[in-house]
Chain A
């Protein structure tokens, strides 16, 4: 990635309706390296920015499948192959008794995949990010909404993008330093 002079430009909005409308216009104007920030999840915002479908469900399915096969396999291998024990004359492969543990391990690995997958897809933990250099950005976790157009965007031109952001009617526009 080429090193740009600044990270990007950021505009601040005071209500969810205007940030969604602004995100839509940013997208329509042809900007692609864009992110928006809000104090709570806004489904319409990710729709306006046309994010791809999350890959997370696939990861969770893989986790669950691994738990299912691994959990059952573990019990089969230990109870039938490695350490067969006669417990009250039950068959070594007493599959009915293996269901509860298989189920629990399936859930466990699927849940771990959901949480670790979410963090990995989001690139968290991330101790430093340029957006925090904007002083007013602390309000993104309270009651303000932000849109950031990154300098890596092919259409990015500092003065022109600045004027474009101002035309969206934000409360503030500011540079985001690296």
Chain B
């Protein structure tokens, strides 16, 4: 215990020292072998640490609640959830939007930052992409089970020739959503898998047991690091990044259309797409911080996930948080400027009505609190960043709650006013998906390399090619 304390102090001192200078993306002293060994050892040779068992057991326990929620829903019907006229959408959609938003940071880190040549993305992209996949899986649970009997909903969700001879209504934003989210899930999975292929080959060649070597070998598909293969591989990876960039922006845009295309005051606003996309990135970076801070500590990955990563993520959070704050401001402004009595009533009701406490909690979490990240000493304080990331996650959940519930609960006619609160089964489904997320994440960090090994190699000083080794371009030839 005392040695732990000692290393904690040493680490704190080192982190304090690092604050004052430009921090590298990989700490000095690593070479190809040490990077390979350090990351692959987490999966192959290190004894499964106790914190892994504790975390996995916790997630798995919460996951059981999801099974309870699903079994009850299928057995008794959709009425076990809270939504009812006039609040026809409740926690099912709130949680759907919350999860799908969290996923966006993974694609942003892996695709957009790749295109922008931000080398610091390399040590966080792998688990950010995993986070995306698991968050999308959690998100998909809600619309699928909100249909009540999912096995009967395929024919009106997906266009396939069915015995009734009907087709989906492509004018509906909900069908756009089906295509956007399923494309997003597929492309994210492809991107993740392609990134893993060379690392699977590394694990195949390092695995001690035959069993693991065979499994990783199959996943690596015979990858041998051939220069011909790398040539196509790099092209594919870059093209995927180029395709994923507009895709990720389109996904939350389409999610916002679910609201903006409707004529409900509080939903029907043209600012929704950019404001939702910024909110998604905001929530997503908060989640990446929530995950990476304990991960780097418990797995000793401070050399790879340095203070520079944490600080950059904090900066992205601050920037997107300000865009979101601008969105809230414009919502209020437009309610006044439109001179529409329903819009005006909606915003006054949000601020002073029965859900006012949620609105103000959201303003504190999403608008006021992140502004502390302007201060460098707070931005580089790891426990504070962890706390801030949780505050933002809560704030973004409240935002969706406020947008969905307060816009619906006061209908145009006072005779159809109502209130909404989540039932036990709403909450158990929500907590259950958190359990699913944690369970999948812990399985991921146990069985797959949490940091992209081959991309880390490219960042090392040893990877630099001396000029005399490079062939001179022939006349008339240009190098890209």
Contacts and interface: CB of A to CB of B under 8 A. Distances in A.
Given A40-B455, A115-B236, A142-B202, A35 B186 contact: no
B236 A141 contact: no
The winner among A114, A129, A137, A143 for most chain B CB atoms within 10 A is A114
Nearest to B245: A107
B183 A38 contact: no
Contacts of A105: 179, 183
B169 interface: yes
A24 interface: yes
B259 to A, nearest CB: 14
A94 B171 CA distance: 7
A173 interface: no
Interface in A117-149: 117-119, 121-122, 124-129, 131-132, 137-143
Given A17-B466, A39-B454, A47-B471, A141 B226 contact: no
Contacts of A140: 205, 224-225
B3 interface: no
Contact of B179 (A37, A101, A132): A101
A131 B226 CA distance: 10
Contact of B240 (A115, A127, A141): A115
Describe A's contact surface by its main secondary structure.
helix
Interface string A20-51: 11011000000000011111111111111101
Interface in B4-38: 31-33, 36
Nearest to B40: A142
Interface in A51-99: 51, 54, 56-57, 60, 74-75, 78-79, 82-83, 85, 87, 90, 94, 97-98
B88 interface: no
A134 to B, nearest CB: 11
Interface string B356-399: 00000000000000000000000000000000000000000000
A141 B159 CA distance: 44
B76 interface: no
Interface stretch (B65-73, B276-284, B323-331, B456-464): B456-464
A51 B227 contact: yes
B194 A131 contact: no
B469 A17 contact: yes
A169 interface: no
Given A16-B463, A36-B226, A142-B33, A56 B232 contact: yes
B206 interface: yes
Given A107-B243, A111-B190, A21 B468 contact: yes
Describe B's contact surface by its main secondary structure.
helix
A118 B466 contact: no
Contacts of B257: 100
Contacts of A112: 186, 190
A104 interface: yes
A11 to B, nearest CB: 14
Given A85-B169, A101-B170, A141-B204, A24 B471 contact: yes
B180 interface: yes
Contact of A35 (B173, B187, B226): B226
Contacts of B232: 54, 56, 118, 121-122
A114 B242 CA distance: 11
Given A17-B465, A107-B183, 6 more contacts: A79-B170, A85-B169, A97-B171, A118-B194, A141-B202, A142-B205
Interface of A: 15-18, 20-21, 23-24, 35-49, 51, 54, 56-57, 60, 74-75, 78-79, 82-83, 85, 87, 90, 94, 97-98, 100-101, 103-105, 107-108, 110-112, 114-115, 117-119, 121-122, 124-129, 131-132, 137-143
30 contacts: A17-B466, A20-B470, A23-B227, A37-B226, A38-B230, A39-B454, A40-B463, A42-B463, A43-B234, A46-B228, A48-B471, A57-B239, A75-B170, A82-B165, A82-B167, A83-B166, A94-B171, A101-B170, A101-B179, A103-B250, A107-B250, A108-B186, A111-B243, A115-B240, A122-B226, A122-B228, A129-B224, A138-B206, A142-B33, A142-B36
Interface of B: 31-33, 36, 159, 165-173, 175-176, 179-180, 183, 186-187, 190-191, 193-194, 198, 201-202, 204-206, 221-236, 239-240, 243-244, 246-247, 250, 254, 257, 454-455, 457-458, 462-466, 468-471, 479
